[in-house]
Amino acid sequence: MRKTVLTTERLMLVAPDMGDCDALCRLWSDPETMRYIGAGGAWSREQIVERIERAIGMQRDRGMTFWTVVEKDSDQVIGQGGLVPIEFNGSEIELGYRLGRAHWGKGYATEIARAAAAYGFDTLDLDALVAVCYAENLPSRRVLIKAGFHEAGESDLYYGVKTIVHRMNASDGVR
Ligand SMILES: CC(C)(COP(=O)(O)OP(=O)(O)OC[C@H]1O[C@@H](n2cnc3c(N)ncnc32)[C@H](O)[C@@H]1OP(=O)(O)O)[C@@H](O)C(=O)NCCC(=O)NCCS
């Protein structure tokens, strides 16, 4: 039985569970999907199991994580998205999302970004969120702007590549 944390018009964001490992392995073994995630490149099953374990622990300990994204209509796992302490500076909370390639271009990432940000501010009482993406990842940059983030400059602190840092503050009142 899935534990739903958040719902949007077309999606459910559910607590991570090892039962979704096969579905996530199908999504994250695609190098095109994973091109701009971390240092880039497809993930092995072993890496995915480790990430799910970490996500389960994060939900338990912090009440936030990369939740598993389920499409309401099909009841299919289509991606992950949510909030995590950023790897390179634990005091900042990062918004992130990734969808299987078949599910791009439907506005889903924007739905996830808006819902997760609102949850961060309204339920978790966060003051600010950060989101970092590769400069070339134009769809993701567009998603962040649509969700209410602003560009806060370039950085090479993250993933060892040139990234664009986006920020949104609770006081911006976007939601
Ligand atoms: C990035 C990603 C999450 C976007 O998801 P999505 O559900 O397709 O995004 P949305 O449909 O909500 O919005 C995409 C926006 O980018 C725009 N876009 C798409 N391709 C673009 C391009 N090449 N240049 C500029 N804008 C582009 C779309 O037109 C849309 O904007 P609009 O609504 O104003 O027309 C998805 O492509 C993905 O999962 N990619 C792989 C993982 C990844 O890169 N995650 C982000 C890491 S920071």
Domain boundaries, the chain: 4-172
Query: 16 alpha carbon to ligand 1 midpoint, in Å?
Result: 23
pLDDT-based confidence at residue 91 (cuts at 50, 70, 90): confident
pTM above 0.75, yes or no: yes
Query: 146 alpha carbon to ligand 1 midpoint, in Å?
Result: 10
Backbone angles phi, psi at 20, to 5 degrees: -95, 10
Indicate the top mutation candidate among 33, 97, 114 to test ligand 1's pocket, ranked by most ligand atoms within 8 A of CB: 97
What percentage of the chain has pLDDT greater than the value 70?
Answer: 97
Q: Which CATH architecture has domain 4-172?
A: 3-Layer(aba) Sandwich (3.40)
Give the separation between CA 72 and CA 48, rounded to whole angstroms.
Answer: 23
Q: Give the closest residue (by CA) to ligand 1 atom 14.
A: 139
For the stretch 122-174, pLDDT in tens is 999 999 999 999 999 999 999 999 999 999 999 888 777 889 999 999 999 77
For the stretch 31-61, pLDDT in tens is 999 999 988 899 999 999 999 999 999 999 9
| Residue 119 · residue 98 · CB < 8 Å | no
In angstroms, how far is CA 19 from the centroid of its own chain?
19
Give the separation between CA 152 and CA 92, rounded to whole angstroms.
Answer: 14
